[in-house]
């Protein structure tokens, strides 16, 4: 049996088909994570579309 930590609260959770909320421990933690995603609290660092980085510029 695989045991993981809930991404929201850190509680240990069994990774089994019997847990419909996996990897979360509960519906509450699942909804908290969804709310954070909807508020754009999760981001991936990078440049905006249309911006060029110095190393992307063609060599002269």
> Torsion angle of alpha carbons 20, 31, 41, 38, nearest 10°?
100
20 marked as binding residue: no
25 marked as binding residue: yes
29 marked as binding residue: yes
| Residue 51 DSSP symbol | -
List the alpha helices (DSSP H) in 1-60. 27-38
Q: List, as residue ranges, the binding site.
A: 6, 9, 25, 29
Annotated binding site for Zn(2+): 6, 9, 25, 29
């Amino acid at each position: 049996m695989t045991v993981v930590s809930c991404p929201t609260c850190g509680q240990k959770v069994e990774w089994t088909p019997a847990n419909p909320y996996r990897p979360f421990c509960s519906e509450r933690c699942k909804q908290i994570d969804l709310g954070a995603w909807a508020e754009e609290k999760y981001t991936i660092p990078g440049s905006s579309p249309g911006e060029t980085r110095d190393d992307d510029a063609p060599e002269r």
